[in-house]
Every structure is written in structure tokens, then in C-alpha cells.
């Protein structure tokens, strides 16, 4: 009975902390919006550089209703999400298995390490020009760029996680008859999954930032392209609206990943 009461008290404390955190976060957002409104209304900053919140909201509603440059807002968002979704799928199905193998088998790691360590520090946009030459400005070059930008961080996290699995866990699985690929599928991969999903949040952030930059350089659709195109016509209201859309999409993606992590490994949150 005492344990149940203590658990209820802990849950109430946790709920209060979460509620306090939420209110502090919302208050900080409202303060920034208030400062933005005051600065723009009093024209402390040139309206060309800092439009009013009302102008940004009006631009957002216009884009939502009428679209932008012959494409609807959902089509631009869909183009960006399609590119990052395909790239992340390829990253997950390649970086995770290869990372697990490299973490457990040293000679395989020795084969791939030089190449990963060579291109990992390079800014993705540094080799984007080569990808455009090979694949053109269509989606293929962007997907390959996003794949390369996201592969290294997830691969490194998986290698680290798989290399530090407790030996007792592996011996226990072997004593129960597990061997070969079954150890990798039923023991090593589940053990690495919490770390992999946590690293995936970082990977998504890197690929998302790379996507926006790539769309600004060579694209004919997407949220990043909207920012670049609007800047040509000095439409700062559209630029701010598109940036806010980018941020909201990033927040939603991160919330989905955090929900997945809580479901798969609630003890990590």
C-alpha cells in the first residue's frame, strides 16, 4: 500500500514539473512574440527586415489558401518531407546493420573506418555540387546528399552502442542456444535500439538542416526553395512564414521520435 502511495506521489510531482516546464516554455515564447510585435509596430527595425506578426500571419494564410508559385503549401511541404523520408529510410536500413557489424567485428570496421572518417567532417554542401553534376537538380541529388549527411552520425552511434553490449548478455543468449544471426537479431539489435533511436533524433536534425540548405541552392520546390525565391523579391513576410513552417515541422518530427523512443525504451526518457 505504501509503495502504491509513493508511486502516486511521484507521478503527481512529475506532472507538476511537466506543467511548470510547459508554462515556462509558453511564457518565453509569448515574451519573444511580444517583443517582436513591439519592435515591428514601433518600426525600431526596418519593416523590410522585420515585418509585423500580422503581416507574417497574412502571408502564411495567403500561401495556405493560394499556394506559392503554382504549387500548394502542402505540395511544398510534401516535397521536402518526401526527400528527407526516403533518405532517412535508406540511412536506417544501411547505417544500423553496418554499424552493428562494425561494432562487433573489428576487421569489418577497419574496412569502412577510413572512408567514414574522411567524409564525416566535410560540410555536406561542399560535395553537393558534385552530386548535382552526377544526378542533376532533381530529387535524386538531394536524397543522396541527405543520405550522406545522416549516415555518419547514426553509423558512429550504432558502432559505439553495439561494441559496449555486456558480455554476460551475449553469453546468456548463447547458453540458451542462440547463435549466428539470431544473436544479432534477437540480442544485439534490441540492445542497441534505444541508443540508435536517440541518435536518430540528432541525425534527423542534421539531415533536415541539410535539406533546407540544399533546396536553397538547387531546387524548384520545397520549403527551403520558398525562402530563397521569396528573398529574390524582398518578401520578408513570406520568408518569416516559411521559416516558422520549417521550425514547426522540425518540432513535430522530433515529438514523433520522442514518442517512439518512450514506447520502445521508456527508461531512457
Helices (H), 218-235: 223-232
Measured distance CA(130)–CA(144) in Å, rounded: 11
**φ and ψ at 71, to 5 degrees?**
-135, 145
- pLDDT, position 158: 94
pTM: 0.82
Residue 65 reports pLDDT greater than 80? yes
Cell of 66: 493560394
Confidence band, pLDDT 50/70/90 cuts, at residue 82: very high
Half-sphere exposure of 104 (CA within 13 A, CB side): 20
pLDDT per residue as tens digits for the range 168-219: 877 777 777 777 778 888 888 888 888 898 899 899 989 988 988 888 877 7
Measured distance CA(63)–CA(65) in Å, rounded: 5
The answer to whether the CB of 81 falls within 8 A of the CB of 249 is: yes
CB atoms inside a 10 Å sphere around CB 230: 21
246: closest CA among 232, 258, 228? 228
Burial degree of 234 (CB within 10 A; 0-12, 13-18, 19+)? exposed
Confidence band, pLDDT 50/70/90 cuts, at residue 13: confident
Q: What percent of the chain has pLDDT over 70?
A: 94
Q: What residues are paired with 68 via a beta bridge? A: 71
Measured distance CA(214)–CA(180) in Å, rounded: 42
Widest distance between CA atoms in the chain: 74
Helices (H), the chain: 2-41, 53-66, 73-104, 106-119, 128-135, 139-163, 167-175, 181-183, 189-217, 223-232, 236-264
Residue that is written with C-alpha cell 542497441 in the block: 192
- pLDDT, position 6: 62
- pLDDT, position 11: 67
Measured distance CA(231)–CA(215) in Å, rounded: 14
Q: Residue-wise over 138-154: b if at least 16 C-beta within 10 A, else e?
A: ebebbbbbbbbbbbbbb
The answer to whether the CB of 223 falls within 8 A of the CB of 245 is: yes
pLDDT per residue as tens digits for the range 232-241: 888 899 999 9
pLDDT per residue as tens digits for the range 92-125: 999 999 999 999 889 999 999 999 999 888 888 8
Measured distance CA(133)–CA(2) in Å, rounded: 69
**φ and ψ at 225, to 5 degrees?**
-65, -35
Cell of 159: 558502432
Q: 145: which residues sit within 8 A by CB, 6+ positions away?
A: 124, 127, 128, 131, 210, 214
Q: What residues are paired with 209 via a beta bridge? A: none
- pLDDT, position 10: 67
Amino acid at each position: 500500500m505504501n509503495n502504491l502511495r509513493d508511486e502516486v506521489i511521484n507521478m503527481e510531482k512529475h506532472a507538476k514539473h511537466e506543467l511548470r516546464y510547459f508554462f515556462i516554455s509558453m511564457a518565453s515564447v509569448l515574451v519573444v512574440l511580444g517583443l517582436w510585435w513591439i519592435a515591428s509596430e514601433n518600426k525600431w527595425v526596418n519593416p523590410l527586415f522585420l515585418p509585423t506578426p500580422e503581416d507574417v500571419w497574412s502571408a502564411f494564410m495567403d500561401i495556405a489558401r493560394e499556394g506559392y508559385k503554382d504549387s500548394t503549401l502542402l505540395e511544398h511541404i510534401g516535397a521536402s518531407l518526401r526527400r528527407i523520408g526516403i533518405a532517412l529510410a535508406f540511412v536506417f536500413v544501411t547505417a544500423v546493420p553496418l554499424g552493428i557489424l562494425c561494432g562487433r567485428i573489428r576487421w569489418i570496421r577497419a574496412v569502412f573506418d577510413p572512408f567514414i572518417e574522411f567524409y564525416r567532417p566535410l560540410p555536406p554542401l561542399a560535395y553537393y555540387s558534385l552530386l548535382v553534376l552526377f544526378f542533376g537538380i532533381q530529387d535524386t541529388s538531394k536524397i543522396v546528399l541527405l543520405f550522406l549527411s545522416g549516415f555518419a552520425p547514426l553509423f558512429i552511434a550504432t558502432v559505439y552502442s553495439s561494441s559496449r553490449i555486456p558480455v554476460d548478455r551475449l553469453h546468456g543468449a548463447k547458453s540458451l542456444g542462440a547463435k549466428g544471426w539470431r544473436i544479432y537479431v534477437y540480442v544485439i539489435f534490441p540492445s542497441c535500439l534505444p541508443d540508435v533511436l536517440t541518435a536518430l533524433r540528432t541525425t534527423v536534425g542534421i539531415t533536415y538542416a541539410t535539406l533546407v540548405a540544399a533546396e536553397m541552392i538547387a531546387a524548384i520546390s520545397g520549403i527551403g526553395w520558398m525562402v530563397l525565391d521569396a528573398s529574390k523579391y524582398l518578401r520578408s513576410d513570406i520568408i518569416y512564414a516559411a521559416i516558422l513552417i520549417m521550425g514547426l515541422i522540425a518540432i513535430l518530427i522530433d515529438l514523433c521520435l520522442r514518442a517512439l523512443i518512450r514506447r520502445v525504451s521508456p527508461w531512457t526518457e
